[in-house]
Amino acid sequence: MSDSAVFVPHFHWDREWYEPFQVFRHRLVAALDTVLETAETDPDFRFTVDGQLAAIEDYLEMRPENRDRVVALVREGRLAIGPWLILLDEFLCSGETIVRNLQMGWSAAEELGGAMPVGYLPDMFGHIAQMPQILARAGIEHAALWRGVPGSVDGHAFNWRAPDGSQVRTEFLFDGYDNGLDVLLIPDQIGRALDDYAEMTAERWGADPVLAMAGTDHNAPDPQLASWLRRASGEGRPITVATLDEYLRKHVRDEVSAVVTGELRNHVRGNILPGVLSVRLGLKQRMALAERTIDHAERMNALWSRRDDSPFLRLAWHKIIESTAHDSVVGSGTDETCDQVAARLAEAAQTARAVRDAALAEPAALVPSDGHLVANPLPFDRTALVEVDVVAPPEGTALLATAADGSTAPVQLISQAPTVLADERMDASQLERVLRRIHRRELFGRLIDHYELTAGELVFHLAEVPTSGPFDLLILRREVAEAAAAHPGEWRVLTLEEARATALVPVQVPASGLASFRVAPSETTAATAHVPATATDRALSNGLVEVTVAADGTLDITGPDGTVLYGVGRLVDGGDRGDSYNYAPPAQDVLVSEPTEITVEVLETGPLRSRLSVTRVYEWPTALSADRDVRGEQVAPTPVETLVEVRVGEPFVRVSTSFLNQSADHRLRFHVPLPEPVTTSASAGQFAVTERGLTAEGGWGEYPLPTFPAGSFVSAGAATVLLDHSSEYELVGDGTELAITLLRAIGSISVNIHPLRDEPAASEIPVPGAQDLGMRIENRFAVVPSASGWQGAHAVALAEEFRNDVLVTRGTGPAGRQLPPDATGLRVDGEDVLVSAVRRVGDEDAELTGTEVRLTAMSDTSSTVRVAGTFTEATTVDLLGRPLSRTPVTDALELDLGPWEIHTVVLR
């Protein structure tokens, strides 16, 4: 049995949760005031600031005068800060966001005296498979965590191994991050209580000292803690006060033999609260949008802009990372907290969008105003369909798109806009008021091409790109005034726009590159490069995939290899008497899976895109009974529209669902029946594709529902589903169906009595906003049938293409000028290789400047990657950006990546 103990004073600080951020910050400032005063009064006192630098940033924003005090304690090793910016939920953001979290936390901690080199992850709801590699590639050798560890670990530490083989020694906080508090309950009995605790847990410690985490949520330790422990140490068992880093570096002696590989999502020693994957759908969608927007902004800024917008990008990243906190994006907070998270994510997306658009404005200036610029954020060539607003062709005339090299492509008309924008009658004395609508040349969002002024009538002709030469508003005002005086009485004012239409255009865009095109009427037509997309009354096809609407409104989808998935999109709605943390069915559930009405409408017939709409009406109960164990008898007829789409050349079927939610306390899932039962599934997210079985390891007090997270896609047998945002899925029916959660509506942060969880996860606080009542619920995904699974379907690349549309903007150069030639940016060739970042790094004072590229081999086999672009040197860096090796490049960079390897290079 261990003969000594190490106490680690700390707190765990949820930045926002059952109170909004600013309320929690008020408490934080008081708590850290106490910590600083205690540390400066008692030289034996140490404090670990929860592994997240945000707590220090939030404090110093209110107490800037205390910065030097913080720095002094950090440099003395008595205040441990970082390495994270925020303690995040690892499954509800991208792998790239996790890396930036570590980078920003580490950098900010270094400015304050140094970061704690421990991957401290105390309260996350499970842990991703690649976390050991992320830590190891940042030079961090230790982790410490609580939830998700399998029952096979019987000590207080294990070696945690990532899929690539990287591993970190991991301290297992098997009794939670507050295990020392029970020992401290009675200050003059600490010695006896410590002996009792050490004896009860002796089999865990071996020869290592007991680790007593002396802290809990949202409270500073008692200022007398160190003196209590000095007294207890003098009475018996030796006691040391340390930071977590000191405990791991100076006090542990035992060699660790236990090895755990991959993700940690077991329920054995702690609740992992899997319901957070699906509650408050809107936050998950906003997170995905913000991450996607900033990724595009960084790529456009690095490749196509002379302006360094790093300050704006850092701001956007900071807001995204703040929102990844394990009580933020998960949606387990109050309504006002979740509203604040949503607003913060919106700000991040808006900031990134401004950078993205400013970067594109530079090459757009070289494109004539009657043309469009298309930018490809992905590092491989692609043909994309873009929707643009164009001048409508005369009746009987086709539209043709012309590229910079003179090649042409067919155009599919989607809709036509009205030409009469206003038809008004007024007295001549009121004409001056009409002219006030005009701002220089703009009227109703268009530009005045020309006008006609006759007795009693004024007609404006608007255009997006005027062709009639200069326009002088002062001359118009004088002419109107003279005409009104000459012709008093009633006038007609007619505002006409040139006939316009929305057109669908296929554009070939180089890797990470730019292309431009213009659309004009043509007497001839062009053929598509692929089999055209077609539609009949209940079927769509493009030569690669075919989809047929079955009698029950589900979809039968045939893939490129002939694999057929029958009944795709069966919707199953059931009650949910759980809370924001855990799903729970009512004791007398009612599952609704059959629609009462089905209608099918063809929306587009090709040749570039074909679409149909399937509307199914369901009678869903509107609420649970008063005791929450029965679904109520009152129902709300709810139409669910499913938009089904195939595009020319795409080997998958795009599907989106939309409905107005009128029911509370329920869960809706989208089912994909499988041709044959399966025993495993796989989902992509955070630099890995993780395989899972039909069950989860239970224990602790939480029923191990096998609901799992998926990032960019989920695959089971012959079905792969590409996802728009982080989602929850489950294999149901003994592996016969894949079920993806579309909505989980609940009304309480936590419930005290939960059928599938013994311990309340929080207080029973109402959160009516989490019911999403009166909200339109929309989900989009794509279905890929393939007998060879996700690898045979090339799901890594398809998921990137599905999630990342090309960027389109109108040219701003003089109309009629020649289109600029296409331009290639950065090209990356390699099978199952993910490029998670392309960004500008460094400044005039930086050790290393250039374009940083992060690649991951998303496969269990080695990969050869070729990176081509305008660079002559490549520097391999670690995940904190520190140079490791330099390589001159003459043609292209060749990299050999090991299985699941994350590799970062800076090109210059």
Query: Residue 76 in 3-state DSSP?
Result: coil
Q: What distances in angstroms separate CA 348 from CA 216, 313, 563, one per listed residue?
A: 31, 9, 41
pLDDT in tens, 537-582: 999 999 999 999 999 999 999 999 999 999 999 999 999 999 999 9
Q: Are 281 and 589 in contact (CB under 8 A)?
A: no
The residue type of 152 is S
The pLDDT-based confidence of 292 (bands split at 50, 70, 90) is very high
pLDDT for the residue numbered 1:
54
Residue 757 CA to residue 705 CA, distance in Å, equals: 11
Residue 316 CA to residue 310 CA, distance in Å, equals: 10
Answer whether residue 534 shows pLDDT above 60.
yes
pLDDT for the residue numbered 101:
98
What are the E-state strand segments in 326-419?
371-375, 382-391, 398-403, 408-410, 412-416
Query: Residue 839 in 3-state DSSP?
Result: strand
The pLDDT-based confidence of 236 (bands split at 50, 70, 90) is confident
Q: What's the mean per-residue pLDDT of the chain?
A: 96
The residue type of 827 is R
The pLDDT-based confidence of 526 (bands split at 50, 70, 90) is confident
pLDDT for the residue numbered 465:
82
pLDDT in tens, 134-184: 999 999 999 999 999 999 999 999 999 999 999 999 999 999 999 999 999
Please state whether 469 falls in left (phi above 0), alpha (psi between -120 and 50) or beta.
Answer: left
pLDDT in tens, 347-385: 999 999 999 999 999 999 999 999 999 999 999 999 999
Query: What is the bridge-based pairing of β-strands 210-214 and 5-9?
Result: parallel
In this structure, is the dihedral angle defined by the CA atoms of residues 153, 154, 157 and 158, taken in order, positive or negative?
Answer: negative
User: And the tokens for 566?
Assistant: 């029958």
Q: Are 745 and 576 in contact (CB under 8 A)?
A: yes
The average pLDDT across 115-136 equals 98
DSSP string for residues in 647-698: ETT-SSEEEEEEEE---SSEEEEEEEE-SS--S-EEEEETTEEEEE-S----
pLDDT in tens, 184-205: 999 999 999 999 999 999 999 9
Percent of the chain with pLDDT over 90: 92
How many separate helices (H) and strands (E) can be counted in the chain?
16, 50
870: Cβ contacts below 8 Å, ≥ 6 apart: none
pLDDT in tens, 693-705: 999 999 889 999 9
903: Cβ contacts below 8 Å, ≥ 6 apart: 854, 855, 856, 857, 876, 895, 897
Q: Give me the residue label for tokens 């060699």.
A: 255
- CA nearest to 333, candidates 589, 21, 642: 21
pLDDT for the residue numbered 293:
98
Residue 445 CA to residue 388 CA, distance in Å, equals: 16
3-state secondary structure 435-454: HCCCECCEECCEEEEEEEEE
Bond into 223 cis (ω within 30) = no
pLDDT for the residue numbered 817:
93
Percent of the chain with pLDDT over 70: 100
pLDDT for the residue numbered 255:
86
DSSP string for residues in 616-651: EEEEEE--B-TTSSBB-S-EEEEEEEEEEEEETT-S
The average pLDDT across 627-652 equals 96
Q: How many CB atoms lie within 10 A of CB 527?
A: 10
> String of b and e for 774-803 (b: at least 16 CB within 10 Å)?
ebebbbbbbbbbbeebbbebbbbbbbbbbb
Q: How many CA atoms lie within 13 A of 829 on its CB side?
A: 8
Q: Give me the residue label for tokens 């070696």.
A: 159
The pLDDT-based confidence of 845 (bands split at 50, 70, 90) is low
Q: What is the pTM assigned to this prediction?
A: 0.95
DSSP state of 275: G
The average pLDDT across 210-233 equals 95
Q: Are 744 and 576 in contact (CB under 8 A)?
A: yes
In this structure, is the dihedral angle defined by the CA atoms of residues 868, 804, 731 and 287, taken in order, positive or negative?
Answer: positive
Burial label, 5 (beta-carbon count in 10 A; 0-12, 13-18, 19+):
buried
809: Cβ contacts below 8 Å, ≥ 6 apart: 357, 360, 361, 364, 372, 373, 375
Q: Are 480 and 453 in contact (CB under 8 A)?
A: yes
The average pLDDT across 333-345 equals 97
Segment 404-409 long-range contacts (CB within 8 Å, at least 24 positions apart): 404/515, 404/516, 404/517, 404/818, 404/819, 404/820, 404/821, 404/822, 405/821, 405/822, 408/522, 408/526, 409/505, 409/506, 409/507, 409/517, 409/526, 409/528, 409/529
The pLDDT-based confidence of 901 (bands split at 50, 70, 90) is very high
- CA nearest to 334, candidates 623, 116, 24: 24
- CA nearest to 317, candidates 839, 799, 844, 711: 839
pLDDT in tens, 765-790: 999 999 999 999 999 999 999 999 99
pLDDT in tens, 61-86: 999 999 999 999 999 999 999 999 99
Angle (nearest 5°) at CA 742 between 736 and 744: 110
DSSP state of 269: S
The residue type of 434 is V
Query: Residue 329 in 3-state DSSP?
Result: coil
Query: Residue 612 in 3-state DSSP?
Result: strand
User: And the tokens for 181?
Assistant: 């508090």
The pLDDT-based confidence of 530 (bands split at 50, 70, 90) is confident
